[in-house]
Amino acid sequence: VQLLESGGGLVQPGGSLRLSCVASGFTFSNDAINWVRQAPGKGLEWVSVIGGSGASTFYADSVKGRFTISRDNWKNTALLHMKSLRAEDTAVYYCARAPTTVTPPIVYWGQGTLVIVSS
């Protein structure tokens, strides 16, 4: 099982960035994909989740209206489109899989990609 994030980097406040998560080693369409972030020296913050088919998506209030989660099951890829970025969005962003059950645990995490929002 592998989740490989990419797309992080330095971006100016107000800018946009797209994170990618490429999955392997499991049936991608069977699982929900979460994005969870961790600001430097801080705790975990859940960001967003997309269901296995992509039909259902949910967001944390802190990113609602600015971030969009999507997936392409043919390419085993999940995306997180981020716009209107703020300094407080600076964090390591983890892609993480969870079963498509009610209140599932997050069973596997990628190694994360760092996003820095700064001028």
Partner 1 sequence: SYELIQPPSVSVALGQTARITCEGNNIGKKDVHWYQQKPGQAPELVMYRNTNRPSGMPERFSASNSGNTATLTISRAQAGDEADYYCQVWDSNTGVFGGGTDLTVL
Q: Which residues bind partner 1 (CB under 8 A)?
A: 34, 36, 43-46, 49, 56, 58-61, 94, 102-112
CB of 79 to partner 1, least distance (A): 18
Contact 97, 108 (CB under 8 A): yes
- As measured in angstroms, the least distance from the Cβ of 14 to partner 1 is 26
Rounded to a whole number of angstroms, the minimum distance from the CB of residue 55 to partner 1 is: 13
Q: Is the dihedral of CA 64, 80, 86, 106 positive or negative?
A: positive
User: If DSSP codes are grouped into helix, strand and coil, which group holds residue 11?
Assistant: strand
Q: Closest separation between CB of residue 77 and partner 1, Å?
A: 19
Cβ–Cβ < 8 Å for 73, 29: yes
Nearer to partner 1 by Cβ, of 11 and 96: the residue is 96
Complex with partner 1: residue 45 or 73, whichever CB lies closer: 45
Instruction: Name the residue type at position 116.
Output: I
Instruction: For partner 1, give the closer residue by CB, 41 or 119.
Output: 41
Q: Which distant-in-sequence residues (6+ apart) come within 8 Å of 1 by Cβ?
A: 24, 25, 26, 97, 108
Closer CB to partner 1, residue 51 or residue 81? 51
Written as one letter, the residue type at 54 is G
